[in-house]
A and B are shown apart, each in its own frame.
Chain A
Amino acid sequence: MSAAPDHKPTFADVPITERVAQAMPVLLIPILVVLGLLAIGNPSSWLTLTVSGLAMGMMIFVMASGLTLVFGLMDVINFGHGAFISVGAFVGISVLFALSTWAGAPSLALNLAAILLAVVAAMVVTGALGWAFERVIVKPVYGAHLKQILVTVGGLIVLEQLIHVVWGPEEIFLTRPEMLKGSITFWGAALEKYRLLAVAVGLVLFIAMRLVFRRTKIGLIVRAGVENGEMVEALGYRLRIVFVGVFIAGSALAGLGGVMWGLYQEVITAGMGEEMMILVFIVVIIGGLGSVEGAFIGALLVGLMQNYIAFLEPKLALISNIGLMTAILMWRPQGMMPVVKAK
């Protein structure tokens, strides 16, 4: 019997460079914000741009979070996600029109109640639609990426055309509720009230999601399912039901994002979801497929970048997102925080 090989375990701290490299995705946001301040120079316009960038990022995150989770959990890529954004916006804005006396009243409570009702209606409709979509369109094509892409694109076309059928082909203009119009001045910077609200909603949502994922059992199951679905099923959990729940929640979040984006732009079109999908895909790719935190960071980066560049060099704004995506993919080909192993 031979002797055991020499074994000399050594304990070493993780070197600082490695720690920085691990935290790099999170650090990118403050770095970008500081770079923005240096490039713009004027603190008050920088503050305005930062807030609007954060607001845009939060809204994109709301739309992207569902998509990335659905992909992470079940390896399903849903190109029809954009249709939920449009449907949510149309339903929400219709409710808002119906409650125009509330929305027009100079009372913050009534305004917020109107928005809340609109959001709830939009989320219920898109959630139900998501459930139907999963049943009819996605379920038969599990495991086949090519067919998934084709079929969900077909679903996107059909839903978009149905919006035309129900609400007519024209775009719909709207105004925000009375108390959310205009802006407040803070340190000489004009901050639009609605954007502040959007930032607040996005932050609350992100924190709530994080709490659900980190502190609850269902969050644990979802995270474990993303990591290794077969193992979770072997432990006796019916991942399929969890997945349907996540799909519905993701669709409802897309509806919420649609209402928020519609109020932000003050115009809604049936094609808006399709346009947003491009940003959403960029965010999901640079964040790393399946990662909610990655999508959050990616969305904020995209929002801030777009606003800074649009101020500094309007012509470049069109390709700034593609540039950002290229740079990040050169740095980390799997995205910033990849969760799903290449399947």
Chain B
Amino acid sequence: MIMKLLSGDTPRSKILTLVLLAIFLCLALAPFLFPGVRSLDTAARIAIFIVLAASYDLLLGYTGVVSFAHTMFFGIGAYGVGLASQHMGRGYSALIVGSLSGALLAAALAFVIALFSLRVRAIFFAMITLAVASAVAVLVSQLSWLTGGEDGFTFRIPRELGPALRLGEFAGVKINGKLVNYYLIFTLSLILFLIMLRVVNSPFGRVLQAIRENDFRAEAIGYRVVWYRTVATCLSAAIAALAGSLFAIWLRYVGPDTTLSFAIMLDLLLMVVIGGMGTIYGAAIGATLLVLAQTYLQDLMGSAAAATEAIPLLSRLLDPDRWLLWLGVLFILSVYFFPTGIVGRLRAGK
């Protein structure tokens, strides 16, 4: 049963299995293990970013295509839910219509971009996605009548998913709509994660890996490389859009900074590379690490900067706003020295 759920792709390392189990259990029982608004928010973020990073890994790690437009698809999903809820009124139908249309639009856009760039050479894709994503980000912040501009907008989701719903107490934790919302997001994230695991372990996923290793040979064997790359792009865009929808449902807000910014794109790259490219599990570990680091490392750096205040340059280097600097260094080092990421290391050293 479990083997079937995991599509036969076991972690293949004892430590990795334990880490993954720990992540799974912590997320599944988060409201009870770590009560509090902030930790619940962190848990939801982790769940959503695991899906997002895994969908990016589908492209980067499995297909060997670098895209800088992944946050654009994430944002399309988020804005899809936001706009649908705003215009159709609060209700489940708005959420479903918004998510599905967001995913479809993302897939269609990915198809067009792929058609233009992958046809010629894969490296075009990186540059063209960067250009398109930045144009979309500017467009969203300018079209303020539709998108609320830089500020974004809040919207209302069904009452059962908000803190207004009270269902009593269990094990000392108040059961309210926020908790229902959390479990909705957790379940959907888990399903999406398992779907992706299924995809990469299917014959289709094998072809993608073959293309990554040697596209010329894959073409010679008789697989149409462009077609496979295009389908992988569309699939990963659609899943990213669904993750964006989940994020919007959780925050009850959409805005360019939370969904479209280039900073999120960099975070995604870090998650996938540090966790381990070419393994869906790597995305899970990378996302967990990075979201935790984002939430708690900045506090740590703040205290470190305060401690070194006397030394002029060092305190600036340790400023909490400079945490991206250290992640960047970590990123370069991990590309050089651990190209297979944490998962690759663990699997090699079993």
Contact = CB atoms under 8 A, between A and B. Distances in A.
Interface of A: 77, 79, 137, 140-141, 145-147, 149-151, 153-155, 157-158, 161-162, 164-165, 169, 274-275, 277-278, 281-282, 284-285, 315, 318-319, 321-322, 325-326, 329-330, 333-334, 342-343
B317 interface: yes
A154 B322 contact: no
A318 B116 CA distance: 20
B135 A164 contact: no
A334 B329 CA distance: 35
Given A161-B322, A161-B325, A325-B128, A77 B135 contact: no
A158 B325 contact: yes
Contacts of B127: 77, 281, 284-285
A333 B119 contact: yes
A146 B328 contact: no
Contact of B135 (A141, A147, A322): A322
A140 B336 contact: yes
Closest 6 CB pairs of A and B: A161-B325, A157-B328, A154-B332, A158-B328, A281-B127, A154-B331
A285 B117 CA distance: 10
Contacts of A278: 130-131, 134-135
Nearest to A157: B328
A157 B266 contact: yes
B328 A149 contact: no
Contact of A321 (B66, B119, B131, B319): B131
Contact of A325 (B122, B131, B331): B131
A147 B339 contact: yes
Given A149-B126, A321-B131, A161 B313 contact: no
B53 to A, nearest CB: 15
B92 to A, nearest CB: 34
B325 A157 contact: yes
Contacts of B319: 165
Contacts of A274: 262
A242 B138 CA distance: 39
A154 B328 contact: yes
B120 A342 contact: yes
Contacts of B116: 326, 329-330
B325 A162 contact: yes
A158 B332 contact: yes
Given A137-B332, A164-B321, A281-B131, A145 B122 contact: yes
B317 A153 contact: no
Nearest to A165: B316
Interface string B111-122: 000001001111
Contact of A318 (B120, B135, B313): B135
Nearest to B65: A146
B131 A153 contact: no
Contacts of B273: 150
26 contacts: A77-B126, A140-B336, A149-B66, A150-B269, A150-B331, A150-B335, A153-B269, A154-B329, A154-B331, A155-B328, A157-B324, A157-B325, A158-B328, A161-B328, A165-B325, A277-B130, A278-B130, A278-B135, A285-B124, A285-B127, A315-B142, A318-B142, A321-B135, A322-B135, A329-B116, A334-B120
Nearest to B119: A333
A330 B124 CA distance: 14
B215 to A, nearest CB: 11
A77 B68 CA distance: 15
Contacts of A281: 127-128, 130-131
B331 A157 contact: yes
B132 interface: yes
B88 interface: no
B315 to A, nearest CB: 10
Contacts of A342: 120-121
Contacts of B60: 146
A155 B269 CA distance: 13
A275 B134 CA distance: 9
Contacts of A322: 131-132, 135
Given A145-B66, A146-B60, A165-B322, 12 more contacts: A77-B123, A77-B126, A141-B335, A149-B123, A149-B126, A164-B321, A164-B322, A164-B325, A165-B313, A275-B134, A281-B128, A333-B119
B139 interface: yes
Contacts of B316: 165
Nearest to B122: A145
B82 interface: no
Contacts of A162: 325
A155 B332 contact: yes
For B122, B135, B327, the residue with the greatest tally of chain A CB atoms inside 10 Å of its CB is B135
B286 interface: no
Contact of A151 (B120, B317, B336): B336
A318 B322 contact: no
B282 interface: no
A146 B131 contact: no
Contacts of B64: 146
A211 B88 CA distance: 64
B52 to A, nearest CB: 18
Given A150-B269, A153-B266, A285 B329 contact: no
B325 A319 contact: no
A147 B123 CA distance: 12
